[in-house]
Amino acid sequence: MSASGLAMIDLERAMQTARAGAVAASAASMVHYRQGVRVETKPDRTPVTQADREAEAAIFEIIRTNFPGHALLGEETGAHAGSADTRWIVDPIDGTRGFTRGGTFWGPLIALEHCGLIVAGAMALPALGEVYWAARGKGAYRQVGDATPTRLGVSGIDDLSEATLFLGEPKALLSPAHAERVLQLTATCAQTRCYGDLAGCAMVLTGRAEVWIEAGVQSWDLGPFPVLVAEAGGRFTDFAGNETVHSGHCVVSNAKLHSQVLAMLK
């Protein structure tokens, strides 16, 4: 995208809107956390709770206040009309199953997409008190509790044999389509872990891991990662090397190892 295209969007305002949405969704979901919230099953066999619905409503309210003309796509309520070129992609609770069981690796994902490029976004890990946000050319940041926000930066490790790899959903990554290559990657890296959902990406953003891979997901499961990762100095693509959240799979890395990982996954 050209600089003139991005200039049409107030990126600072978009970044702060995404951040505020993540904070509001965190508050809405924490009301129900470990309170025995009732779990329903959607037609696609994934779980949903009142916390998901209230968190999405809280995010949408903030977006509509700041950008009333933008389109919206939410996991729980689908598409909402707006600008043809600009829309917000929202997952109110990524990791609902973990949320319902009292886990900590879950939270909202919020992204602003303009002409196919993610230009601003935020995410949070409410149970850990963490919020992350970024916009193109504005940097990527993390705040823990009431502490002063810090700028995010990926690690400098450039050898896969010294790298920490995080896996997303093993059911998808170890399916016949990917298993052989994923297992080769795990054998090459120094260690492999599996936090799941957005927490795996958070490990790369904070320099605690070098690579995170995910597969078998939807656009809203990956929404803000391209801008968060790029602004932290890393790289985000799908397995084919395309920077898109719409393929259903992704590689997140510290950039130094990205080409090697892609070569092993293709």
Q: Is the dihedral of CA 19, 252, 71, 43 positive or negative?
A: negative
The angle formed by the CA atoms of residues 172, 173 and 178, to the nearest 5 degrees, is 110
| Per-residue pLDDT of the chain in tens (266 residues, 90 and over written 9) | 444 456 678 999 999 999 999 999 999 999 999 998 888 888 888 889 999 999 999 999 999 999 999 999 999 999 999 998 999 999 999 999 999 999 999 999 999 999 999 999 999 999 999 999 999 999 999 999 999 999 999 999 999 999 999 999 999 999 999 999 999 999 999 999 998 789 999 999 999 999 999 999 999 999 999 999 999 999 999 999 999 999 999 999 999 999 999 999 98
Model pTM score: 0.95
DSSP 26-60: HHHHHTTTTTTPPPEE-TTS-EE-HHHHHHHHHHH
Q: Cβ of 147: how many Cβ atoms within 10 Å?
A: 9
Which uninterrupted H or E stretch holds 133?
strand 130-135
